[in-house]
């Protein structure tokens, strides 16, 4: 049976006396033991420091800074001016710092008593763009609801030269009540699409056909185009009522005459480009000119993605809403859109440059001219609030880069070496308003007046007659006259 003892009981039962630590018996002095060896003197700085004990000082609760009303600030400034004391001596008397006194005096000198009012802290809410830039953004958005922030920013830079980043444009639109819709992302393509781009112009052209219906005539037409892979520049187009190989060859010859021969031409497996037996007429034309044809894989439109993207832009921005009077009107207006696409429309796939800048090798010169014009216009906008009318021209002539831009009332011509020369522009004579002719080479065959009469809606032909009766009669008479002259000989 175990016994539990309390500490007091254990001490009473322990016969040996308990000595205190400082108790020493008088009969037996304590043995000091061996003498320890002397330790060398170690500097205090080399000793390993132990844990430092931090002393905590209790501070009084923070006193809120003194606040003054605008009237009190004005009285303090008046008292300071009357005292003729330095700011460092007067400020402690009123519980301020000299920097606060200097700040109040500066605001009073700039804005008068209104400068001493309570100023809102932090950056001002809302967009910081000038009012003119905000109104221009909203007008562009109303005119083009499908344009995004990047497109609006690029257009402002190349057009009126108003600086606005895409995020600044988005902020202005958000303040105006526009909301961003989270559209579902397109499904990922499996396998992933590989992107390619040739290193210089005229290395590779892409070609394809696009079809749409003339709404007034309920007539299907076919558009063929050739697009440069490096610059996205449309080098040739043609709009026809059929999709024959002969018409495609007419467009090809017009593009080659206008911009030279490419190294390769990328096509799909359409009957205009490829034949299952022998060599197609299109391939023969390319071979005769020393051009290699590259054929894309069947059922893989991503290979011709650049020209497919151009068809999408053409449809959304022009053809979808346009109502063409006839085929001739459609040819003219589609050609004008292609000129706009080539020379004025910023392309996001080539760093917001226009295709003509890249195709003619002037993109760096144009970008420098745009940046200089943007900086000059930003200064004018900051000073006067109204932008100057934009004027600039940049490109190549004879293989040499040049730029033409306005500086105030002067027009400056800058060559490739950086030499500047002032030029004078004459006023052109007044010309009657007329449809401009497209610049892009067109492969449309030349038509006679009789063919134009057949294609127009205004041609009125009686029943049983044809608009070709008169030209055929003239040909018969000419043939009879040639025969008579041959018989006389």
- Dihedral sign for Cα 396, 397, 401, 406, please: negative
Start-end of H helices in 117-220: 131-143, 149-158, 166-175
How much is the pTM?
0.58
* 153 has a pLDDT exceeding 50: yes
Distance, in Å, from the CA atom of 207 to the CA atom of 193, rounded to the nearest integer, reads 20
Distance, in Å, from the CA atom of 116 to the CA atom of 94, rounded to the nearest integer, reads 17
Residue 355 near residue 313 (C-beta atoms within 8 A): no
Distance, in Å, from the CA atom of 255 to the CA atom of 440, rounded to the nearest integer, reads 9
116-130, 188-202, 358-372: least confidently modelled range: 358-372
In this structure, are strands 420-423 and 410-415 parallel, antiparallel, or unpaired? antiparallel
What pLDDT is stored for residue 259 in this prediction?
Answer: 87
Which pLDDT tens digit goes with each residue over 448-466?
444 444 444 444 545 556 6
Strand ranges for 161-285 from DSSP E = 204-214, 219-228, 234-240, 264-267
204-350: CATH homologous superfamily? Answer: Ribonuclease H-like superfamily/Ribonuclease H (3.30.420.10)
For range 126-154, the mean pLDDT: 85
pLDDT over 70, % of the chain = 64
With H, G, I as helix, E, B as strand and everything else as coil, classify residue 393.
strand
Q: Which of 33-47, 140-154, 361-375, 451-465 has the highest mean pLDDT?
A: 140-154
Interhelix angle 149-158/131-143, rounded to 10 degrees, is 120
Interhelix angle 363-384/149-158, rounded to 10 degrees, is 90
Domain boundaries along the sequence of the chain: 70-116, 131-175, 204-350, 360-423
What pLDDT is stored for residue 455 in this prediction?
Answer: 47
What pLDDT is stored for residue 122 in this prediction?
Answer: 66
In this structure, are strands 234-240 and 392-397 parallel, antiparallel, or unpaired? unpaired
- CA distances for 80 relative to 95, 97, 103, 113, 448, angstroms: 13, 13, 13, 16, 95
* 105 has a pLDDT exceeding 60: yes
With H, G, I as helix, E, B as strand and everything else as coil, classify residue 214.
strand
Residue with tokens 């096509």: 267
Question: Count of alpha carbons within 13 Å of 439, Cβ hemisphere only?
Answer: 12
The two tokens of residue 145 are: 């609801």
Which pLDDT tens digit goes with each residue over 245-300?
989 999 999 999 888 899 999 999 988 999 888 889 999 999 999 999 999 888 88
- CA distances for 476 relative to 418, 465, 470, 482, 487, angstroms: 66, 17, 10, 10, 17
- Dihedral sign for Cα 467, 468, 471, 472, please: negative
Residue 190 near residue 302 (C-beta atoms within 8 A): no
* 309 has a pLDDT exceeding 80: yes
My answer on whether omega of the bond before 191 falls inside 30° of 0, hence cis, is yes
The two tokens of residue 45 are: 């700085």
User: Please, which residues have CB within 8 angstroms of residue 222's CB and are 6 or more apart in sequence?
Assistant: 209, 210, 211, 239, 240, 241, 242, 243
- Rounded to 10 degrees, the C-alpha dihedral 212/214/219/222 comes to -40
The two tokens of residue 413 are: 């011509």
194 versus 328: the higher-pLDDT residue is 328
């Amino acid at each position: 049976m175990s016994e539990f003892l309390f500490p007091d009981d254990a001490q009473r039962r322990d016969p040996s006396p308990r000595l205190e630590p400082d108790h020493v018996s008088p009969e037996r002095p304590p043995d000091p033991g061996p003498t320890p060896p002397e330790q060398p003197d170690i500097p205090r700085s080399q000793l390993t420091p132990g844990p430092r004990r931090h002393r905590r000082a209790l501070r009084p609760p923070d006193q809120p800074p003194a606040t003054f009303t605008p009237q009190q600030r004005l009285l303090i400034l008046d008292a300071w001016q009357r005292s003729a004391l330095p700011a460092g001596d007067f400020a402690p008397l009123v519980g301020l710092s000299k920097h606060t006194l200097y700040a109040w005096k500066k605001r009073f000198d700039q804005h008068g008593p209104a400068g001493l009012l309570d100023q809102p802290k932090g950056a001002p809410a809302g967009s910081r763009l000038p009012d003119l830039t905000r109104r221009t953004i909203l007008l562009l958005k109303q005119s083009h609801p499908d344009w995004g922030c990047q497109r609006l920013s690029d257009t402002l830079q190349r057009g009126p030269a108003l600086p606005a980043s895409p995020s600044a444009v988005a902020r202005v639109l958000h303040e105006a009540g526009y909301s961003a819709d989270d559209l579902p992302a397109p499904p990922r393509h499996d396998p992933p699409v590989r992107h390619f781009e040739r290193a210089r112009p005229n290395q590779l052209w892409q070609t394809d056909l696009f079809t749409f219906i003339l709404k007034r005539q309920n007539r299907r037409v076919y558009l063929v185009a050739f697009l440069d892979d490096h610059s996205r520049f449309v080098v040739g187009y043609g709009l026809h009522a059929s999709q024959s190989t002969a018409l495609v060859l007419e467009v090809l010859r017009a593009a080659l005459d206008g911009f030279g021969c490419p190294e390769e031409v990328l096509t799909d497996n359409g009957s205009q480009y490829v034949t299952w037996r022998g060599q197609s007429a299109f391939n023969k034309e390319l071979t005769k000119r020393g051009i290699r044809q590259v054929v894309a894989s069947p059922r893989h439109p991503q290979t011709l993605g650049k020209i497919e993207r151009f068809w999408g832009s053409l449809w959304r921005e022009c053809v979808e809403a346009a109502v063409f009077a006839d085929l001739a009107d459609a040819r003219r207006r589609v050609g004008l859109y292609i000129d706009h696409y080539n020379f004025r429309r910023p392309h996001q796939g080539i760093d917001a440059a226009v295709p003509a800048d890249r195709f003619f090798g002037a993109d760096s010169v144009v970008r420098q001219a745009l940046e200089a014009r943007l900086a000059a216009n930003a200064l004018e906008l900051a000073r006067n609030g109204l932008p100057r009318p934009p004027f600039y021209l940049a490109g190549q002539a004879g293989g040499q880069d040049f730029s033409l831009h306005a500086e105030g009332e002067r027009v400056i011509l800058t060559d490739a070496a950086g030499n500047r020369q002032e030029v004078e522009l004459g006023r052109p004579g007044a010309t009657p308003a007329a449809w401009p002719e497209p610049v892009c080479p067109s492969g449309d065959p030349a038509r006679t007046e009789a063919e134009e009469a057949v294609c127009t809606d205004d041609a009125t032909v009686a029943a049983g007659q044809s608009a070709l009766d008169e030209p055929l009669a003239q040909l018969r008479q000419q043939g009879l006259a040639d025969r008579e002259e041959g018989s006389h000989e």
